[in-house]
Amino acid sequence: MNNPHSAACISHEAVTAAVYATPSPLVQDAVSSTTTFRQLFDATSSTFTYLLGDDSSKTAIIIDPVLDQVERDLQIVEELGLTLRYALNTHCHADHVTGSGEIKKRCPLTKSAISEASGCKADILLHDGDEVHFGGNILHVLATPGHTNGCMSYYTESLGGMIFTGDTLLIRGCGRTDFQEGNARKLHRSVHRKLFTLPASTKVYPAHDYKGHACSTIGEEMAFNPRLRLHEDAFKKLMDDLHLPYPKMMDLAVPANTQCGS
Ligand SMILES: N[C@@H](CCC(=O)N[C@@H](CSS)C(=O)NCC(=O)O)C(=O)O
């Protein structure tokens, strides 16, 4: 099924208005039964995978699974008695192969999802303002292009407010913008116009960390992120001058991830 509106979404306008207002009315009125949250790490690619479970319905979602860690991830899902409904990707990763396809093979009830703008195949193609429901919980989909054109961040009011930023916003850093339609100005605008309008207490969970961090908050990143504190022109110059080597697995990962969980 390629239509997200039947499977995962309602009321785009209401969500968009609520998510961008500060403080969000949804944050104040949130009713949620998410009590299971796991941050998992793949040391080879320095990738974080997130598992969120709804304790009432025992349904769960996984964000940015890594192929090499599917065994580990599904063991936790099983041990906690959860049923995976969605395997979401924040974008088409260039440094590792997504676990979505393998998870779908082993858990037939799980649907893969990624943004339509990514150009990747998946069961559900997401758009800005969509919602992903699991049990009593809602994940709000925010388009945050810049690292790639199809980058999405996922926001939930559960557990005091969490944003899964993919490679858009890293802790005290951000995703590079020198390939896969990367665009420094777009990334700066995504962060300042969307992520930095969330409540300051919102916890930030990125897709990667290379320095030993695990979590931050929107308020902390607004104050201390050395890249995103810069104005747009200075940010673009900094990003244009990074000259980082390409990810080792890029030539394998991008074609594989374009097929995603199809
Ligand atoms: N050495 C790693 C790749 C490291 C890297 O380029 N990370 C990306 C995200 S994965 S495409 C990035 O945006 N980094 C930002 C930065 O400032 O380092 C490998 O070979 O896989």
Averaged pLDDT score across all residues of the chain: 89
Average pLDDT over residues 178-205: 98
In a domain, 110, yes or no: yes
- Count structural domains, the chain: 1
The CB density around residue 219, as the number of other CB atoms within 10 Å, is: 15
In this structure, is residue 198 part of a structural domain? yes
- For the question of an ipTM over 0.90, the answer is yes
Q: What pLDDT is attached to residue 150? A: 98
**Within-domain flag for 254:** no
Any domain includes 142: yes
Question: HEC profile for 122-186?
Answer: CCEEECCCCEEEECCEEEEEEECCCCCCCCEEEEECHHHCEEEEECCEECCEECCCCCCCCCHHH
Q: Residue 32 has what pLDDT?
A: 57
pTM: 0.90
Structure confidence by residue, pLDDT tens digits, 133-172 = 999 999 999 999 999 999 999 999 999 999 999 999 999 9
Q: Considering the domain boundaries, does residue 248 fall inside one?
A: no
CATH of the domain at 99: 3.60.15.10
Predicted local confidence at residue 28, as pLDDT:
35
Locate the ligand 1 atom nearest the alpha carbon of residue 95 and give its number: 21
Question: 249 in a domain, yes or no?
Answer: no
pLDDT of residue 34: 66
Characterize 97-108 residue by residue with b for buried, 16 or more Cβ atoms within 10 angstroms of its Cβ, and e for exposed: bbbbbbbbeebe
In a domain, 51, yes or no: yes
Domain extent at residue 219 = 4-240
Mutate to test the pocket of ligand 1, among 244, 248, 249 (most ligand atoms within 8 A of CB): 244
In a domain, 250, yes or no: no
Supply the pLDDT for residue 12.
33
Q: Is 167 in the pocket of ligand 1 (CB under 6 A)?
A: yes
Would the CB of 209 count as within 6 Å of ligand 1? no
